[in-house]
Structure 1
Amino acid sequence: MEKFAERLTESERIIKTADHMIYMAFPMIKDKRILLKSISEMKRAIANCITIILQYEYIHKRISLYRDPKANFKVFVEKCAARYGITPEEIKTIIELFDLVEKHKKSAMEFIKDDKIIILSDRMKSETLTLERTKNFLEISKSILRKTNNVNQL
Structure 2
Amino acid sequence: MEDYRELVHDLIQINNDRIAGYTKAIELLIQEEDQDLRKVFVYYRSQTQKHVTQLGAFALNLNLNQSKAPIVQGELFRIWMDIKTTITGTDRYSILMSCDQAEGTYKQAYEQALRNLLNVPLSVTNTIRQQAEHQYMEHNHIKTLRDAG
TM-score class normalised by the smaller sequence: 0.3 to 0.5
TM-score (norm: length of structure 1): 0.37
More strand as a share of residues? 1
Structure with the higher fraction of residues in helix conformation: 2
